[in-house]
Amino acid sequence: MSTAGPVRPLAYLNHNSHQEKQLATESLTWVDQREQMLLAPFAMFSNQSRGRIHPETEHAYRGPFQRDRDRILHSSAYRRLSGKMQVFTGEMGDYHRTRLTHTQEVATIARTIGRAMGLNEDLIEALALMHDIGHPPYGHAGEDALNECAANFGGFSHNQFALTIATELEFRFNEFSGLNLTHEVLTGQTCRIDKEKTDQRPLLEVQLVDAADSTTYDAHDTDDAIKLGLVTLEEMESLEIIRESISHVRQHYTSLNEELMRKAVVHRLIERQVTALITYCGGELQSRDFANAGDAMNSDFLIGHNAELGEQKQELERFLYARVYRHPRLVTVRQRGQAHLKEMYERYCQSPELFPQKYQARAEKIGIRRMAIEYIAGMTDRFCEDVHQEIVLQS
């Protein structure tokens, strides 16, 4: 499928002579030299990182954000995302997205946009892989249930729990707990907790992952909902962004069956959003000519869509909320899942000896109630159901 027009990556290459470039990069590492050639001035460069809580020797051929990406990718919490629902549960089939496949799709789309804008792809990928790592069983419904259970001692947020996982619960080193990620990745996740607490914008790479997340779930929740029969493409044609996508597809293909039409429309949804983001934000970034990442953060610039497309996305998201996320088939599953989480929470609080032995020390440190929240939040959907059967129904 062709695009509406060519979108060329932004050009920020240093046009100095070969000799000047060689002199300028002689003292830089291989990673630094590569970034100097490829990244825009306003990107977050690896050698500008504020480092880690526990200092480490630099790696021979991987930059700090590459190492963060790898640590997240190889973590237990990341692997468990394969067993956590995105919107739809496993009992509804195996076509739809899990929390893991959603995360991978966000990372791919974010890297595509970041490359075109001259931003740091390694940092983008690390941020994208981490952004949902704290989700509990049953997605946002599970998060609401755990937040209600923890209302008297700080509540529960999947964004905050992601930081707890990265700094306390994962074990990679003998000397200290956590993954020892860079300041930039941890701060990027912190920005997701409360975006209104600071007047300073996050790094552009952080903003971009949020935009890619929105682009991804708008398209793929539409895809899954139609595939599962919760709504039809004809019903969604009343939405401007869907109507444009259908029209575009029909201009390029004259005869598609129902399945191929759905796939083509979803492809167009992604393509249009990505193209528009690169075109709109790319033009803004070139005109503003930020000298470094700090200049961009301290400005009023924010990565996002133009007003027209932004309104169309909001219309789509309102439809998805009303017709898909609140569909009776999903509401029933979510209510059952929330009830199970609350029952398990009460059971663990009453009988903390039910925690596996390796969690007993942490329960003494943070308290039984918080330990119950953390332990349940780390479960996959299936393991959660198995444990509920064991400690609630059979007790």
DSSP assignment string, 110-125? HHHHHHHHT--HHHHH
Distance from the Cα of residue 247 to its chain's centroid: 30
Q: Beta partners for 85?
A: 98
Q: Which residue has the tokens 């990406």?
A: 69
> What is residue 303's DSSP assignment?
-
Give pLDDT, residue 22.
Answer: 47
- 86 vs 177: CA distance, rounded Å: 28
Give pLDDT, residue 394.
Answer: 85
Give pLDDT, residue 181.
Answer: 98
Closest CA to 184 of 277, 106, 122: 122
Residues 6+ apart with CB under 8 A from 188: 123, 127, 202, 203, 205, 206, 209
Whether the Cβ atoms of residue 61 and residue 122 lie closer than 8 Å to each other: no
Whether the Cβ atoms of residue 56 and residue 180 lie closer than 8 Å to each other: yes
Could you tell me the two tokens for 40? 């825009």
Give pLDDT, residue 88.
Answer: 57
What is this structure's pTM? 0.91
Give pLDDT, residue 29.
Answer: 87
- Beta-carbon count within 10 A of 226 CB: 23
Written as one string, the DSSP assignment of 3-16 is -SS--PPPP----S
363 membership: H or E segment, kind and range: helix 360-366
Give pLDDT, residue 86.
Answer: 74
Ranges in the chain, pLDDT < 50: 1-6, 13-24
Could you tell me the two tokens for 99? 């929390």
Give pLDDT, residue 3.
Answer: 43
Can you list the domains of the chain with their CATH numbers? 63-393 (1.10.3210.10)
Burial (Cβ within 10 Å: 0-12, 13-18, ≥19) of residue 291: exposed
Could you tell me the two tokens for 144? 């609401």
Give pLDDT, residue 254.
Answer: 85
Report the interhelical angle of 99-117 vs 121-130 (nearest 10°).
160
- 131 vs 159: CA distance, rounded Å: 7
Give pLDDT, residue 240.
Answer: 98
- 214 vs 313: CA distance, rounded Å: 9
Closest CA to 280 of 39, 40, 7, 38: 7
Query: Residue 314, by phi and psi: left (phi above 0), alpha (psi -120 to 50) or beta?
Result: alpha
Q: How far is CA 124 from CA 44, 64, 196, in A?
A: 10, 12, 22
Give pLDDT, residue 333.
Answer: 87
User: Which residue spans within the chain are E strands per DSSP?
Assistant: none
